[in-house]
Structure 1
């Protein structure tokens, strides 16, 4: 398994989300999956360390994967 830390740069804030995927998944695939969800919804639910965030997709300016690591 791999753990990805995704950063959402919003109009006035920054949110981070940890996503766990299969070992063969690349970070480009994670970004594409998120962008597809953002394009089809008015809100995106990000699961952070402090709980879930409901992000208005019109406020998202930039999405990136900060880093990835192998998890057992």
Structure 2
């Protein structure tokens, strides 16, 4: 499993979301998944260290997907 950290720069804050994917998933695929979500939904859930929160798609100004980190099998259980 890989962990991707997504940073959303909103109008008045920065939010981070952790996404866990299979090892064969590339960073570009995660970016495309996020862009599809933003284009098709007005609001959506994001899971961060502070819990689950709503993101208003219209308030997003910038999205960055940070480098992925391989997880050991014990970190995601």
TM-score (norm 2): 0.89
Distance 1:32 1:63 in 2: 11
User: How many residues get paired?
Assistant: 72
Matched with 2:50 is 50
Bigger radius of gyration among the two = 2
Question: Any gaps of 5 or more consecutive residues in structure 1?
Answer: none
Matches for 1:27-46 after TM superposition, within 5 Å: 27-46=27-46
Q: How far apart, CA to CA, are the structure 2 residues paired with 1:11 and 1:28? A: 24
CA positional deviation for 1:4: 0.4
1:37 shift after superposition: 0.8
Q: Deviations over 1:12-51 (max 9, x none)?
A: 1100000000001111110100110111111021100111
TM-score normalised by length of structure 1: 0.95
Cα RMSD between the aligned structures? 0.7
Q: Which runs of 5+ in 2 are unaligned?
A: 73-77
| Structure 1 consecutive aligned stretches of length 4 or more whose deviation exceeds 6 Å | none
- 5 Å-filtered alignment, 1:1-40, equals 1-40=1-40
Q: What SS does the corresponding residue of 1:67 show, helix, strand or coil? A: coil
